[in-house]
Amino acid sequence: MKTVRRGILGLLLIAPLAAEPLPDAWTSLKPAWAAAHLKLAHELLKGGAIGFSDTQAGLARQLEGAQTDGAKEYLERRGKVKPPDKGWEEADWKGYETKRLTLYRKEAKEAAELLDKEAETWALRLDPDQAKVRKRRGEEKIPGLGWLPSETAANLRKGLVRFGDAWVKPDPAKSVSWEKAYGIPTEHFLVMSTLPRERALEIASDLEALYRIWEEILEGIGPARGEGENPKVWALQTAADLQACVAAIYPAGVETVRDPGTPGLAATNRNAFFDEQGPQRFGHSIRIGLFHEGSHLIHFDVPGSDVRSAPVWAVEGTAVLMETLETVKSPDWNAAAPPFRATARAFAAVVPEAVPALPGMDKPVFYQDNQTHYAQAFLLAHWLLYGHGGLHRADFLRYALGIGGGGEIPPCKGEALAGEIQRYLKSLKR
Ligand SMILES: [Zn+2]
C-alpha cells in the first residue's frame, strides 16, 4: 500500500516539475539573489572597492528595483565611503573573481532548473558556460569558437567551411578573392576568409577570446545572444582584395583602407576588414587589430548604445583598452589590471606629460592628431574604469557604453580632470 502511494506521489511530483515548473519559482528566487549580491556589495565597499561593489548592488537593483530598503541602504553607505587613491591591482581582481564566480555559478545553476526565459537569460549572463541551459538550447561548445548549434558544431568538427548555405571542404584554389570567401561561424562573429582554414580558425578564436574578455571587464554588457546575424569579420590575403571588398560592402571606407597605415577597419554596417599583412604594416600583430576592430563590432551591437553619436574618445578609448588586453590568453581570465599587462605600444603612450587639459575630448571628432587622441582616449577610459577603486566606473558604463541613457560624465570637464589623471598615472608607476 505504502509502496504504491509513494509511486504515485513520485510521479505526480516529478512529471509536472520536469515539464512545467511552478510559475512563481523565478519570482521567488529574485529577492534571495538580490540579497546575496547586496551582501557581497557591502563586503566590497568596506574594502573601498567601489566599482566592484557598485556592480553587485547594480545586479540587486536589476533583480528587484531601486526602491527596496536594501538598495537605499547601499546608496547611503556608499556615499560615506572615502575612495582610495590607487587603482586596482592584480590581487584585488583575483579576490573579487573568486567571490563573484562562486556566487554566479551557484545562481546560474539554480536558474537553469527553471524553464523560464528570463531565468535562462540570467543563467547565461552569470555563467555563459552553464551546461544545462546550453544543452536545452541545442548548443555544443567548440574549443575557441564558443557555443554553437549542434549541427554547425558537427560540420566544423568535420573540417568543413560554410560556402553560401552549404557546408563544403575548404578549397584554397577556389577561395581566391573576397567574393569566393568561405565562412567560419563562431558564437558571436562570422569570419569570412580566403586564408587557409587553420589561420581563419585562429582569427575566429582570437575574436571569441576578445568577446569573453569584453564581457568580463564590462560586466556582462554585450549584444543580446542568439538574435539576428552575427557581425562579419573579413580576413583576406592581400591589400588589393581587401580594398575591393571594402569598395563593394562599405564604399565610405575605401579611402581609409587605401592608406597603408590602416591596420584594419570596423564599419558601422557591422563588417570589419583585414588583410593578413595590414596590422604588420602598421607595426603590430593582427591579434591587436582584431581586438581593436572586434571591440567596435561588439560595441555597435550593445543594446541601448549609440556608438555613431558617442564622442570618439569613448568609442576609441574602449577599443584601445581592449587592445591592451590582447596578451591575455585565457578567455576566462579575470579581467584587467591593464597597466601591468599592457602592451609596450599602448603603455609607451602613457606618459604624464602627454595628458592635456582635454579640451574638445567630448566632441564627436578626433582631438589633435590621431595618435595623441587614441592615447588620451585610452587614459581617460582607463582612469574612469579603474581609478579611485572604480569610483567612476558606473559613469563609464553609462556614458561610454550608453547604458541607461548615456549622459555626461560629471568629472569629464576641464583642467581638473587632467590633474586627476596625472595623479592616477603617478600612482600606477610607483
Ligand atoms: Zn578604432
Residues 297, 344: one domain? no
Cβ atoms of 106 and 122 within 8 Å: the answer is no
Highest mean pLDDT among 52-56, 112-116, 152-156, 209-213: 152-156
What is the rounded average pLDDT of the residues 58-84?
A: 92
Q: List the beta bridge partners of residue 140.
A: 148
Higher-confidence position of 295 and 14: 295
Q: Is residue 371 part of a domain?
A: yes
Q: If you measure from the C-alpha of residue 245 to the centroid of ligand 1, how many angstroms do you get, rounded to a whole number?
A: 19
Can you give the residue range of the structural domain that contains 327?
Answer: 314-430
Q: If you measure from the C-alpha of residue 101 to the centroid of ligand 1, how many angstroms do you get, rounded to a whole number?
A: 31
Q: If you measure from the C-alpha of residue 290 to the centroid of ligand 1, how many angstroms do you get, rounded to a whole number?
A: 11
Q: If you measure from the C-alpha of residue 82 to the centroid of ligand 1, how many angstroms do you get, rounded to a whole number?
A: 35
If one counts the domains in the chain, the total is 3
User: Of the candidates 109, 135, 161, which is a domain's last residue?
Assistant: 135
Q: Is residue 345 part of a domain?
A: yes
Q: How far apart are alpha carbons 118 and 22 in whole angstroms?
A: 14
With H, G, I as helix, E, B as strand and everything else as coil, classify residue 236: strand
55: nearest Cα among 349, 335, 248, 319:
335
Give tens-digit pLDDT for 93-146: 778 888 998 999 999 999 999 988 889 989 998 999 999 999 999 999 999 999
Cβ atoms of 322 and 328 within 8 Å: the answer is no
CA 252 from chain centre, in angstroms, equals 27
Residues 265, 189: one domain? yes
Predicted local distance difference test score (pLDDT) of residue 352: 40
Predicted local distance difference test score (pLDDT) of residue 144: 94
Q: If you measure from the C-alpha of residue 217 to the centroid of ligand 1, how many angstroms do you get, rounded to a whole number?
A: 18
- The pLDDT confidence band at residue 420, using thresholds 50, 70 and 90, is confident
Q: Is residue 14 part of a domain?
A: no
Predicted local distance difference test score (pLDDT) of residue 278: 85
Q: If you measure from the C-alpha of residue 323 to the centroid of ligand 1, how many angstroms do you get, rounded to a whole number?
A: 10
Q: List the beta bridge partners of residue 139.
A: 149
Q: How far apart are alpha carbons 74 and 64 in whole angstroms?
A: 14
CATH number of the structural domain spanning residue 185:
3.40.30.160
Q: How far apart are alpha carbons 362 and 370 in whole angstroms?
A: 15
E strand segments, 256-382: 265-267, 271-275
Q: If you measure from the C-alpha of residue 315 to the centroid of ligand 1, how many angstroms do you get, rounded to a whole number?
A: 7
Q: If you measure from the C-alpha of residue 325 to the centroid of ligand 1, how many angstroms do you get, rounded to a whole number?
A: 15
Q: Is residue 99 part of a domain?
A: yes
Predicted local distance difference test score (pLDDT) of residue 4: 36
3-state helix, strand, coil in the chain (%, to 5): 60, 10, 35
Q: If you measure from the C-alpha of residue 136 to the centroid of ligand 1, how many angstroms do you get, rounded to a whole number?
A: 37
Q: How far apart are alpha carbons 83 and 411 in whole angstroms?
A: 15
Q: If you measure from the C-alpha of residue 36 to the centroid of ligand 1, how many angstroms do you get, rounded to a whole number?
A: 38
301: nearest Cα among 358, 221, 244:
221
Q: Is residue 20 part of a domain?
A: no
Q: How far apart are alpha carbons 351 and 421 in whole angstroms?
A: 11
Give tens-digit pLDDT for 313-369: 778 888 888 887 776 544 333 334 443 333 434 444 444 444 444 545 555 555 556
Residues 165, 123: one domain? no
- The pLDDT confidence band at residue 225, using thresholds 50, 70 and 90, is low
Predicted local distance difference test score (pLDDT) of residue 350: 44
Predicted local distance difference test score (pLDDT) of residue 6: 37
Residues 241, 290: one domain? yes
Cβ atoms of 172 and 197 within 8 Å: the answer is no
Q: How far apart are alpha carbons 230 and 223 in whole angstroms?
A: 10
What is the rounded average pLDDT of the residues 223-243?
A: 87
Residues 156, 273: one domain? yes
Q: How far apart are alpha carbons 292 and 233 in whole angstroms?
A: 12
Residues 285, 167: one domain? yes
What is the rounded average pLDDT of the residues 253-261?
A: 90
Q: Is residue 3 part of a domain?
A: no
Predicted local distance difference test score (pLDDT) of residue 187: 95
Residues 180, 65: one domain? no
Q: If you measure from the C-alpha of residue 176 to the centroid of ligand 1, how many angstroms do you get, rounded to a whole number?
A: 28
* Angstrom distances, CA of residue 342 to CA of 64, 328, 330, 352, 378: 38, 10, 15, 16, 11
122: nearest Cα among 141, 134, 137, 107:
107
User: Of the candidates 110, 135, 160, which is a domain's last residue?
Assistant: 135
Cβ atoms of 134 and 141 within 8 Å: the answer is yes
Residues 116, 194: one domain? no
pTM of structure: 0.84
User: Of the candidates 278, 303, 328, which is a domain's last residue?
Assistant: 303
Phi, psi of 274 (to 5 degrees): -140, 150
The residues, any chain, with a CB within 8 Å of residue 100's CB and separated by 6 or more, are: 40, 52, 56
Cβ atoms of 232 and 270 within 8 Å: the answer is yes
395: nearest Cα among 370, 374, 369, 420:
420
